[in-house]
Amino acid sequence: MRDRQVRATALQRTNFDERHRAARDAVLTSQRGRLLEAMVECVEEKGYSACTLTDIVARARVSRSTFYEHFSNKEHCFVEAVRSASDIIAARIIDELAQLPASAGAHERIESMVTTFCETVASEPQFSRLMLVETFKVDQEAVGLRDLAVDRFADLYRVFYAEARAMDPGLPVIADELFALIPDAIGERTRRVIVAEGAHRVPELAPLFVEFVNSVLRLPHRP
């Protein structure tokens, strides 16, 4: 029995990795994608201020003219790298939600969304750090993109909870501001763990985050 469970878990993880690679390739497999990755790597290595256009194009193995075909300047490239990080996380969450059976309820969807977020942060440590840590040091437009990504989470929590209330009208009405506070809190805790311990530690937080979301939304414990 134990062997079957281990094999099933390994297969599920393999499928997760395959779907992650597909989502990543859809965003980054191009000259533009190489430039975005180069920007992320340079910021990770040297910091945004010390990162130069020469560094970026050399790492991406493209010419300056190719850079200017895609971006107007270094700041524009940084903002687009933040946008790509957000897109990768969003695509992964949508992909994993699609793997759930049609009968999945709010608990299962919340668990899938939170766990996928944590796993993707760990799988993309440089992009995650760029979006959750470096944006606040660099560019207000990048901060706006980060906030937009957080708002996507809040919208999903609203949808999941509305579906749960449709199934159980006894669930209380939740103040709209609480939905927005959930991803803010998770994002801030994730940022602190990335800075202090590294992105690889974030998946360990998934059960705590799931419990937090269910508590805020006052969802009953699953039997």
Q: From first to last of its 223 residues, what are the pLDDT tens digits of the chain?
A: 434 443 443 444 456 667 666 666 665 667 888 899 999 999 999 988 899 999 999 999 999 999 999 999 999 999 899 888 888 888 899 989 999 998 999 999 999 999 999 999 999 999 899 888 888 777 677 777 777 788 888 999 999 999 999 999 999 999 998 999 999 999 999 999 999 999 999 999 999 999 999 999 999 876 5
| Rg of the chain in Å (alpha carbons) | 19
- Least Cα distance to 36 among 60, 55, 72 occurs for 60
Which residues, 6 or more positions from 118, have their beta carbon under 8 angstroms from its beta carbon?
A: 190, 202, 203, 205, 206, 209
Dihedral sign of CA atoms 58, 64, 68, 72 in order: positive
Nearest alpha carbon to residue 120 among 217, 36, 205, 203: 203
Q: Which residue type does 55 have?
A: D
Res 139: pLDDT: 65
Predicted pLDDT at 54: 94
* Residue the block writes with tokens 């897109």: 87
The tokens describing 13, both together, are 């993880």
Domain boundaries, given as residue ranges, for the chain:
2-216
- In contact, 48 and 78? CB cutoff 8 Å: yes
d(CA 188, CA 184): 6
- Say how many CA atoms lie within 13 Å of 101 toward its Cβ: 3
Domain 2-216 belongs to what topology? Tetracycline Repressor; domain 2 (1.10.357)
Shortest CA distance to 164 belongs to which of 106, 222, 223, 100?
Answer: 106
